Amino acid sequence: MLRGRVRRFKRRYSRSIGEFLRTFLRNKFGIVGSSILIVFVLTAIFAPYIAPYDPTDVNSIGVAPPFSPPSWVKIFDNSIPKDKVFGLLGTDELGRDIFSQIIYGTRVSLLIGFAAAFISIFIGTIIGLVSGYYGGVIDEALMRITDILLIIPGLPLMIVLAAVLGSSIMNLIFVIGITSWPSIARIIRSQVLTVKEMKFVEVARAVGAGDGYIIFRHILPNVSPLIYVNAAINIANAILIEAGLSFLGLGDPNYISWGTMLFFADQYQALIKLAWWYVFPPGLCILLVVLSFIFIGHALDEILNPRLRLRR
């Protein structure tokens, strides 16, 4: 007979985790999505080692003439003088290296995206669980609140909140998190309604389990595949919203995110000046990160969906 708690624990869960990873990495969407995401995450973590300049450092201003195109443009047009081009992605209106800004911007955009999504998933899940499980007056009350938040137009609400609270990273995370939980709550609640009628929940009650135990041990695990799938979409959404809010000028002025880069690009009329290297890189990064999460979400959906049906 087996002895040892650690051995038991490992055997119990390593099978399912291993199986899951294997299936996930066999899925085309999963591979592409996670590869892209890993690149960005590593970039964010190792930013100081990758970026040649720290964009918040005052000394990084004016390392080259403002609005200089990237160096490799010379491959196509040799006539441009050497001191008028700079770096991998050229410079901005203050002559700062755009490549460095993109690298450091990854940190801000990803951080806000993950944190805001985490808050909205956390709130949404708890509300969905409580509402679905207890029903009755609690359910009605919570659902009415959810409805109200769903009706109010999202972006205008966030703009108002951001303007009132002031633009800082914490506030942005708060604003996005607080306004995105309703849709998750609804989805979770409807799944909870299905799960709580299942016979294994009744058996748990027959054995003497209380509500808390049943919610965390039986309902939550059967609802979590849904959470994972929605989490990916949620994070993508949060990143997009952050970009949007920053582009509108509500981003934290002390930090550079991809959205703020676009804001400044617009402010200083980069497109009119044909400085494509200022506009495309941040836009492309936003696109790629969002795409990677959508792919991951799709892969998760494909894998976890048969289980979502809760029947063989």
Partner 1 sequence: MKPLIKVVELKKWFPLRRGIIDALLGRKQLYVKAVDGVSFEINSREVFGLAGESGCGKTTTGRCILRLIEPTSGKVFFEEKDITSMSYGELKPLRKNMQIIFQDPYESLNPRMNIYDIIAEPLRVQGLVEDPDEEEEMVYRALEEVELTPPEEFFYRFPHELSGGQRQRVAIARAFILKPKFIVADEPVSMLDVSIRSEILKIMLRERERYGTAILFITHDLSLARHMCERIAIMYLGKIVEMGETEKVIQEPLHPYTQALIAAVPVPDPTYRRGKIPIKGEVPNPINLPPGCRFHPRCIYAKEICRKEEPKLVNVGGRLVACHLYSSK
List contacts with partner 1 (CB under 8 A). 1-3, 5, 8, 11-12, 15-16, 198-200, 202-210, 213, 218, 221-222, 307, 310-312
Nearer to partner 1, 219 or 286 (CB): 219
Least distance in Å: CB of 227 to partner 1?
13
Q: How many CA atoms does the CB half-sphere of 221 hold within 13 Å? A: 7
Contact (Cβ atoms closer than 8 angstroms) between residue 245 and residue 172: yes
Nearer to partner 1, 22 or 82 (CB): 22
Q: In whole angstroms, what is the distance from residue 224 CA to residue 304 CA?
A: 10
Sign of the Cα torsion 14, 17, 20, 26 reads negative
Nearer to partner 1, 10 or 84 (CB): 10
Q: In whole angstroms, what is the distance from residue 249 CA to residue 170 CA?
A: 16
Q: Which amino acid does the sequence have at 96?
A: R
Least distance in Å: CB of 34 to partner 1?
23
Nearer to partner 1, 126 or 198 (CB): 198
Contact (Cβ atoms closer than 8 angstroms) between residue 256 and residue 104: yes
Least distance in Å: CB of 19 to partner 1?
10
Nearer to partner 1, 100 or 222 (CB): 222
DSSP label at 309? T
Contact (Cβ atoms closer than 8 angstroms) between residue 208 and residue 223: no
β-partners of residue 91 are 97
What angle is formed at CA 210 by the lines to CA 205 and CA 214, rounded to 5 degrees? Answer: 75
Cβ-Cβ contacts under 8 Å for 38 (sequence gap 6 or more): none
Q: In whole angstroms, what is the distance from residue 55 CA to residue 66 CA?
A: 14
The distance from CA 271 to its chain's CA centroid, rounded to whole angstroms, is 28
247 closest CA partner among 261, 226, 231? 261
Least distance in Å: CB of 262 to partner 1?
43
Least distance in Å: CB of 195 to partner 1?
9
Least distance in Å: CB of 196 to partner 1?
12
Least distance in Å: CB of 109 to partner 1?
34
Nearer to partner 1, 2 or 75 (CB): 2
Q: Specify the residue for token string 């869960």.
A: 13
Nearer to partner 1, 62 or 221 (CB): 221
Nearer to partner 1, 186 or 218 (CB): 218
Least distance in Å: CB of 222 to partner 1?
6
Tokens of 54: 């720290």
